[in-house]
Structure 1
Amino acid sequence: MNTGDTGLPVDVPSTALFTDQYELTMLQAALRGGTAGRASVFEVFTRRLPNGRRYGVVGGTGRVLDAVENFRFDAQILGFLRAQGIVDEPTLEWLADYRFGGDIYGYPEGEVYFPGSPILRVEGSFADCVLLETVILSILNHDSAVAAAASRMAHAAGGRPLMEMGARRTHELSAVAASRAAYVGGFATTSDLAAGYRYGIPTVGTSAHAFTLLHDSERDAFTAQVDSLGGGTTLLVDTFDVTEAVRTAVEVAGPDLGAVRIDSGDLLLLAHRVRQQLDELGAHGTKIVVTSDLDEYAIASLAAAPVDAYGVGTQLVTGSGHPTCSMVYKLVARARSDEPGAPLESVAKKSMGGKLSVGGAKWAARRVDADGVAEAEVVGTGPVPDELTSRQLLVELVRGGEIVGREPLEAARDRHARALAGLPMSATQLSRGEPVLPTEYA
């Protein structure tokens, strides 16, 4: 039994099979060859940002810690591996006692990153570390993609609240993770109750078109909703005729109606017309909520419209066109032998096609200019320059197999706002461009 960010109990099954078979076959071969115990360092990084993006957002770190803690091979899992002949008996015996016993350092959740940033560093024996590759990448690639999309949308919204409502557009478990990542990136609420329960994210929701169609008239539907939920509710006004629906909504709920929602049509034009109509009816405080396949560009196009809040679904949970961050998990250093204290040596992939890696366990720091604005992401393997010591980015997350880096979700959300505020202003431009900070190797 584990707990989510709310402290509420959450059933968390073993994450040991959220992996690829070759991780277990590599383990078997390493055990047999006598190299499984070699001290190793793996790093998570991306060679490039999605095309046109200026920065990335670290999302899912808290979920990674949960996954590492619950990476256990119980009797059922071992039985499956044995029945399928995936690994041999000595390897199964080793897996039965597996608990990650190494150290993990990483960019804290909500921080921004750039090409080459060592987003996560996993240290331990080769056997300890190699098993975690797929589960770590699956979480970070998904959650960071959603968090980055959410961040761009939040900036485009200019301070107007954003509601995450994409649960029906993705896998049911991905929906919960997406709600969490969206909250880190700046969304205010979610429609997904599982996310609200597990992570304490405020939840919202009132009615869909089906509720209006259930009734004999739109007036009957509005009356039933107001009688049940009160005059502060949000009434959906685009089932038939928007102008007539707005008039009926104010007649039923009165001028203190909470909000109306528009889910189709020319949102820019309709928002202006509805605002004018609401004001003429005396409903000056009634807010306008818009939905309908929004992304950051559509939200930005509504900046001058009298819109009070946005609801976003499909584009958010799919990363607004970039559903993964192309993060990789690479061995960057390993010991020369199994002997305790054996020195580490750098290793790196040197293949063709641009899939190069930089060897060595790395530190990262963000250099700032005289005004305190970030000007470069500095990554190195040697001593940290004195002027960058206080600007280091990696924090301790796991020590000797024990989780030490858990934090409330609000901390990640607040960190992202601070990190974004520390970047050059061009970081938030929606026009295509290069990463806003260069990556320098020291």
Structure 2
Amino acid sequence: MHSSRPALLTDHYELTMVSAALRDGTADRRCVFEVFSRRLPAGRRYGVVAGTARLVELIREFRFDAADIEFLRRTGVVDEPGAEWLSGYRFTGEIDGYAEGELFFPGSPILTVSGSFAECVVLETLVLSVLNHDCAVAAAAARMVTAARGRALIEMGSRRAHEEAAVAAARAAYLAGFRFTSNLAAGQRYGIPTAGTAAHAFTLLHDDERAAFASQVATLGKDTTLLVDTYDISQGIRNAIEVAGPELRAVRIDSGDLAVIAQQSRQLLDSLGATETKIIVSGDLDEYAIAALAAEPVDMYGAGTAVVTGSGAPTAGLVYKLVEVEGRPVVKRSEQKATIGGRKVAVRRHKPTGTATEEIVVPQGVPDHRPNDRLLQRSYVVDGEPVALPTLDESREHLRQCLISIPWEGLKLSAGDPAVPVTVVPAE
């Protein structure tokens, strides 16, 4: 896999368009492409921008090496002028967009890519593959964080995703407010706290459950989590406390009717004197299952499949469309897929209390400024060079503040209108 050479992580037709545009003289026309969604996934009231910093780094590395060019020549994907142009490719344009952690809604211009037609069009697939995945995971994870009501979450879905998607998903989930990930590569690359102790296989390896627990405690100490549902949960809890004592940090339950089991487990732990031992639950949890456990004595949730697959919405539904050529707005007019031409500026309006009321998008102009307006776009790349970006923790805090700012109805898990309406002001 060309993980450090992302240039071929693209669609065939991007390069045939480059060859044709080079031949007819339009390749160097100055263009503006825009990333936006026409609608949110069913049941969602907001989207979350995630993956932009990853994307900027991939664009920095976007080069066609000799092996890439030889493959494209040999397979006839590009002609000689196209191959020569690609061999010297380097993005020299500008990229602006919403901050990572920002909320978006239908019509929000979350990323704007400007430059020559050729240098922008070859980025389409990379841009969309990164943003569609990371935004989908972040939105699902943010809904889980809201449902958890302040209780901690650990992302543990690596085994349910492509190996590189798993790392990106862990980053997006942490951005959305998850406390930990089980993925060590995400810990190394992004500084995300990692967590994990033992699986059922470790218990089954030993002659009995107590022996497995004793081994784990001997190695990790009492500040560990014992998985108690390999056999009988109640007996597992008794064994855990007998081995580790009431100072055991936590037990984890990965199966069964978690609402009932959590109550019974809490009662049993308390009766054994382990009043400070935490209960962690996992097992196909999504935002709805987490919300259903809100009244139960659960201290932490582990989410896997649902978070790494966007909890039923594995793509954010983003598109990458040409909206301006040589300063002239261009518009796609087909039914159901129309676009609004021109480079856009977006602000979010707020009440004096800080509650967001509306998003204003102005094509080819600047919105009239009002008190409590917040400009949504920032620079990511200028003249081909990335600019200083917020840290992942800063983006995480940005999302937390954004979720506080939207009307409380926008945090509901039920279907409804977007949390903040988007108004597109006609160009003058």
Same fold (TM over 0.5): yes
TM-score by length of 1: 0.94
**Distance apart, 1:390 and its partner CA:** 5.1
In the TM superposition, what are the counterparts of 1:245-324 in structure 2 within 5 Å?
245-324=236-315
**1:430 alignment partner, SS class:** coil
1:281-309 Cα offsets, whole Å, 9 max, x none, are 10111000000000000000100100000
**Distance apart, 1:151 and its partner CA:** 0.2
1:112-148 Cα offsets, whole Å, 9 max, x none, are 0000000000011111111100000000000000000
The one-letter code matched in structure 2 to 1:376 is E
User: Is the aligned partner of 1:158 residue 2:158?
Assistant: no
**1:87 alignment partner, SS class:** coil
Same amino acid, percent of matched pairs:
57
**1:320 alignment partner, SS class:** coil
Distance 1:35 1:305 in 2: 63
Distance 1:265 1:134 in 2: 42
**Is the 8 Å Cα contact of residues 379 and 440 (structure 1) preserved in structure 2?**
yes
User: Is the aligned partner of 1:203 residue 2:186?
Assistant: no
5+ residue gaps, structure 2, are none
**Is the 8 Å Cα contact of residues 12 and 70 (structure 1) preserved in structure 2?**
no
Distance 2:371 2:5 in 1: 40
**Is the 8 Å Cα contact of residues 109 and 346 (structure 2) preserved in structure 1?**
yes
Name 1:416's counterpart in structure 2. Answer: 399
CA change 1:390–1:377 in 2 (3 A) is: closer
2:362 to 377, 380, 390: 380
Matched pairs, number: 423
User: Is the aligned partner of 1:43 residue 2:26?
Assistant: no
**Distance apart, 1:215 and its partner CA:** 0.6
**1:117 alignment partner, SS class:** coil
Distance 2:394 2:419 in 1: 24
Distance 2:372 2:383 in 1: 24
Name 1:6's counterpart in structure 2. Answer: none
**Distance apart, 1:76 and its partner CA:** 1.0
1:304-331 Cα offsets, whole Å, 9 max, x none, are 1000000000000000000001100000
Name 1:365's counterpart in structure 2. Answer: 347
2:20 to 21, 25, 29: 29
1:222 to 203, 213, 221: 213
5+ residue gaps, structure 1, are 1-10, 336-343
User: Is the aligned partner of 1:243 residue 2:234?
Assistant: yes
Distance 1:174 1:210 in 2: 25
Distance 1:227 1:12 in 2: 40
CA change 1:297–1:389 in 2 (3 A) is: closer
Name 1:356's counterpart in structure 2. Answer: 338
Name 2:375's counterpart in structure 1. Answer: 392
In the TM superposition, what are the counterparts of 1:86-101 in structure 2 within 5 Å?
86-101=77-92
**Is the 8 Å Cα contact of residues 162 and 189 (structure 1) preserved in structure 2?**
yes
CA change 1:238–1:246 in 2 (3 A) is: same
**Distance apart, 1:389 and its partner CA:** 9.2
The one-letter code matched in structure 2 to 1:235 is L
**Distance apart, 1:368 and its partner CA:** 1.2
Name 2:184's counterpart in structure 1. Answer: 193
**1:372 alignment partner, SS class:** coil
User: Is the aligned partner of 1:430 residue 2:417?
Assistant: no
The one-letter code matched in structure 1 to 2:320 is Y
1:199-247 Cα offsets, whole Å, 9 max, x none, are 1100000000000000111111111111111011100000111111111
**1:387 alignment partner, SS class:** coil
**1:386 alignment partner, SS class:** coil
Distance 1:391 1:200 in 2: 30
The one-letter code matched in structure 2 to 1:214 is L
TM-score by length of 2: 0.97
Distance 1:387 1:279 in 2: 56
**Is the 8 Å Cα contact of residues 65 and 406 (structure 1) preserved in structure 2?**
no
Distance 1:406 1:75 in 2: 31
1:82-141 Cα offsets, whole Å, 9 max, x none, are 111110111111111110000000001000000000000001111111110000000000
The one-letter code matched in structure 1 to 2:235 is E
**Is the 8 Å Cα contact of residues 46 and 104 (structure 2) preserved in structure 1?**
yes
Distance 1:129 1:200 in 2: 31
**Distance apart, 1:406 and its partner CA:** 2.4
Distance 1:251 1:321 in 2: 41
Distance 2:135 2:234 in 1: 41
Distance 1:154 1:22 in 2: 39
Distance 1:436 1:76 in 2: 48
